Amino acid sequence: MTSPGGGALAARGGATVKRMKWSLELSLGNSRNRGDRQSKDGDVMYPVGYSDKPVPDTSVQEADRNLVEKRCWDVALGPLKQIPMNLFIMYMSGNTISIFPIMMVCMMAWRPIQALMSMSATFKLLESSSQQWLQGLVYLIGNLLGSALAIYKCQSMGLLPTHSSDWLAFIEPPQRLEIMGGGMVM
């Protein structure tokens, strides 16, 4: 177990520290201290807040703006890009009703719905873009297309109750208006 901060606690006496039950060493340069993250650079000690990596320039530049736009378009076009893939999966899985096609259809249907439900989060993501509304619309259309595809798949698999036979079980027997009986003359 490493101890936080500058000190390290050696609870168990190793072969080299047989002399005492425990010891506290304040010098960090000691190589005996196992798993010390800062010790790989040698014995040099840096002041607090010092980072040996150069700090990037965070001021917004024109090139970055383009990058943001591009990134946002990536997000917005994501659902649309998935459609060819989905089409391929649809084609491959066939129309038989078994566990794998059903799982695929469920995934295909669930993903756009999930995306549509978290629309606001996506909008927040796109906030920085200047074409926010257009991108949002494209994103929406992409997802709608995705769900339409899932519905089409359900339809072609026969999972949608669109036929009259699907409602057959709910038809009540008609009420009879006449009472009739009789038979052979006894």
Partner 1 sequence: MAWLVVRLAISVSLLYAASAVFEDQVGKFDWRQQFIGKVRFALFDTHSQASKKLLVATDKNVFASLNSRTGDLFWRHVDKTGPEGHIDALLMYGQDAVVVVGNGRLLRSWETTVGGLKWETVLDTGSFQAAALVGVQDLVKYVAVLKKSAISLHDLSSGSQIWVENLPDSDSVQYQTIYSGGNGVVFVLGVVPNSHIVIVEYKIEDGEIMNKKSVEAVWMSSLESSCAVVSSGILLCVDQITQSLYTLPLQSAEQTEMRQIHLQMLDLEVVSGFRPVLTSTQPNPAQPPLSEFFLQLSPDHHILLQFIDGLIAPLRDFNPSYLAAFATSGERTVAAVMSPKNDTACSINLFSADTGRRHLDTTIIYHMDPNGGKPNRLYVHAFLKKDDSVGYRVMVQTEDLTLTFLQQPGRVVWMREEALADVVTMEMVDLPFTGTQAELEGEFGKKAAIQDGLLPMVLKRLSSQFILLQAWLAHLWKLFYDARKPHSSVKNDVTIDILSRDEFNLQKMMLMVTASGKLFGIDSKSGTILWKQYLENIQPNSVFKLIVQRTTAHFPHPPQCTLLIKNKDTGLGSLYVFNPIFGKKSQISVPALPRPVIQTLLLPVIDQDYAKVLLLIDDQYKVTAFPSTKNVLQQLQDTASSIFFYLVDSSQGKLSGFRLRKDLSTELIWEVVIPTEVQEIVAVKGKRANEHVHSQGRVMGDRSVLYKYLNPNLLAVITESTDTHQERSFVGIFLIDGVTGRIVHEAVQRKARGPVHFVHSENWVVYVYWNSKFRRNEFSVLELFEGAELYNSTVFSSLDRPYAPQVLQQSYIFPAPINTLEATLTEKGITSRHLLVGLPSGNILSLPKMFLDPRRPELVSEQSREENLIPYAPEMPIREEWFINYNQTVSRVRGIYTAPSGLESTCLVVAYGLDIYQTRVFPSKQFDVLKDDYDYILISSVLFGLFFATMISKRLAEVKLLNRAWR
| Residues near partner 1, by CB under 8 A | 158, 163-166, 168-169, 171-186
First to last CA, the chain: 103
**Residue of 155, 165, 143 whose CA lies nearest to 105:** 155
Q: Considering beta carbons, is residue 41 or 166 the nearer one to partner 1?
A: 166
Which candidate, 31, 30, 32, places its Cα nearest to that of 13? 32
Give the three-class secondary structure for 155.
helix
Contact 152, 112 (CB under 8 A): no
Least distance (Å) from partner 1 to the CB of residue 148?
Answer: 22
Specify the residue, 14 or 181, whose C-beta has the smaller distance to partner 1.
181
Our CB check for partner 1 shows the closer of 62 and 172 to be 172
Give the nearest distance from C-beta 101 to partner 1 in angstroms.
Answer: 18
Considering the complex, what minimum distance in angstroms separates the CB of residue 149 from partner 1? 22
Going 73 to 117 to 147 to 141, the CA torsion angle's sign is negative
Closest CB to partner 1 among residues 12, 40: 12
Residue 134 class from Cβ within 10 Å (0-12 exposed, 13-18 middle, 19+ buried)? middle
CB of 172 to partner 1, least distance (A): 8
Cβ at position 96, least distance to partner 1 in Å = 12
* Amino acid (1-letter code) at residue 184: M
Give 63's contacts (C-beta < 8 A, 6+ positions apart).
Answer: none
User: Closest separation between CB of residue 181 and partner 1, Å?
Assistant: 4
Q: Phi and psi at residue 111, in whole multiples of 5°?
A: -65, -50
